[in-house]
Chain A
Amino acid sequence: SAVISQKPSRDICQRGTSLTIQCQVDSQVTMMFWYRQQPGQSLTLIATANQGSEATYESGFVIDKFPISRPNLTFSTLTVSNMSPEDSSIYLCSVEGSPGPQEETQYFGPGTRLLVL
């Protein structure tokens, strides 16, 4: 499976500020996914990011709050804008496996732990 890294691994931010989270993959992938995991909760898909097109957002998530960039096939960023304490979560990116047996299986990065004060 692909090796996925995220930066930062954790951060503490003040309300009203914005944070950009980076996701880097060691191989080219078509689709990248961003998830949110609120404290003690399950994972919720925020959006799907294809290279060269606008991200597709799930119900309850909007581009103004969570703008996403996908400049190439190995990199994506998620920005959490105008943060409030309710945005305190783990943010995870994921990619699908390579064509073949690993395809249609999502592999996850290590996550970014965000605390908003």
Chain B
Amino acid sequence: AQKVTQAQTEISVVEKEDVTLDCVYETRDTTYYLFWYKQPPSGELVFLIRRNSFDEQNEISGRYSWNFQKSTSSFNFTITASQVVDSAVYFCALSGFGNEKLTFGTGTRLTIIP
């Protein structure tokens, strides 16, 4: 069975601070995908990144960066120089290769205080 744990239910930081959202996963699959999605107050789910299990390179996209560590089954997400527009609920998710079913974590509500 697959499981995704986001232990941080809510985080608040002051604008321009850096913040890291934690994600720990469990799977018996040897190949799998990890995802991060953003859900702003409007409700839509916005895709941010997909990472393959065989690619442990960290990725940076602007102010966003992701740290994938297979040894600790973690896929953490860091926002540098946070902005008010980053306020949202962030979901980490997992799926197996060729298995379309997404298993979501419970989400982390991030509030950026101006």
Interface flags for A46-82 (1: CB within 8 Å of B; 0: not) read 0010000000001000000000000000000000000
Known: A104-B33, A105-B35, A111-B45. A42 touches B107 (CB 8 A): yes
Q: B101 in the interface, Cβ–Cβ < 8 Å?
A: yes
Cross-chain contact A96 with B50 (CB below 8 angstroms): no
Shortest Cβ distance from residue A48 to the other chain B in the assembled complex, whole angstroms: 7
Inter-chain residue pair count (beta carbon < 8 A): 51
CA distance A104 to B42 in the complex (A): 25
Is the contact region of chain B dominated by helix, strand, or loop, or is it mixed?
Answer: loop
In the complex, are the beta carbons of B101 and A110 less than 8 A apart?
Answer: no
Given A108-B45, A110-B44, A45:B107 Cβ within 8 A:
no
Taking residues whose C-beta sits less than 8 angstroms from the other chain, chain B's interface range is: 20 to 34
Which of chain B's residues 26-63 have a Cβ closer than 8 Å to chain A?
33, 35, 37, 42-47, 50
Compute how far the CA of A111 lies from the CA of B107 in the bound complex, rounded to whole angstroms.
Answer: 17
Chain A residue nearest to B43 (CB atoms) is A111
